[in-house]
Amino acid sequence: MDSPDPSPVIELIEAFRRSKAMFVAVSLGIFDALEEAPSHVARLAHQLQVEAEPLERLLNTCVALHLLRRNDTRYENEPVASTYLCRASQKTLSGYILYSNAVLFRLWTFLEDAVREGNPRWKQAFGTEGTIFDHFYRTDEAKQDFLQGMHGLGLLSSPKVVEAFDLSGFRQLVDLGGATGHLAIAACERNPDLRAVIFDLPQVIAAAQLYASLSSVRGRVEVKPGDFFQDDLPEADLFAMGRILHDWPEPKIQALLAKIYRRLPPGGGILLAEKLLFEDKTGPVSAELQSLNMLLCTQGKERTFTEYRQLLEEAGFRRVRGRMTGGPLDAVLAIKP
């Protein structure tokens, strides 16, 4: 009997090498430097203050990964790198890549222990305790990297989330834990009669105000500081939460959903932007990997639509609908009777 094709295993053996090569190229500023001007190895090595020969290996790897192209001995960015890997791009994912390189890559080293013990690995990886947000916001640089990363991912996911359902009947949206406001902004862009509030922790407010002020709907988006677990919620007929519930275990989620339910008027809604697992929990791969990521980082996990529906119905919501969007996040909408 012929042996099975080993390529899936070989590809997984190499997978972390591919991502780490991209992480390091972003961290060193290679794509930023080449966006200013294409460059030869020697000149780029001097500019970045690294050794030329190892840099050439990394550059050639990025060519093989279709992130760079080489003309004779000069390297330049491919369009995908210019768009998503340069810090100055409006659509950059560099913040999330830097966060992945500095934080997630280290946490994933301890996946075996997380599976054995069933809890996050912050203490083991970094020697510190605290909530996940204590680590995201431990320094200004870490906060900016994380928020920029979430914004880049949000630009890919939020338009698809707000397109998943007809939201035209709502008038006031409050985006709980809205970070840079990409979900609130996308909702207002699609629904001209909608106004929105970005509601997040005080240390996030400056970034939220900046991104809101740069948007085309800045006259309909405001920013308010607050902790949605501790503080009174602003008035709304639609609450939105993107990548919030997956951070927490069921009791915490139940308390938050009950609080939102009480605050909503009859006919009000709640919009969730999360990765949805298949009902048999065998995919999608990105959602399964994110669920492992939640094991390493938080007290939460990814869930199926049925699991979210049960949580929402326990809180009193009805007419719960879910949509796979084809983007990084899926959508769930529920209504208060």
Cα 276 from Cα 265, distance rounded (Å)? 27
- 3 state DSSP class of 103: helix
> Residue 163 carries which side chain, given as an amino acid letter?
E
- DSSP for 4-26 reads PP-HHHHHHHHHHHHHHHHHHHH
- DSSP for 181-234 reads -HHHHHHHHH-TT-EEEEEE-GGGHHHHHHHHHHSTTGGGEEEEE--TTTSPPP
Which residue, 73, 72, 29, is CA-closest to 50?
Answer: 29
246: annotated active-site residue: yes
Contact (CB, 8 A) for 246 and 274: yes
- DSSP for 278-317 reads PTTS---HHHHHHHHHHHHHSS---EEHHHHHHHHHHTT-
Considering the candidates 135, 151, 182, 246, report the single residue annotated as catalytic. Answer: 246
Residues identified as active-site: 246
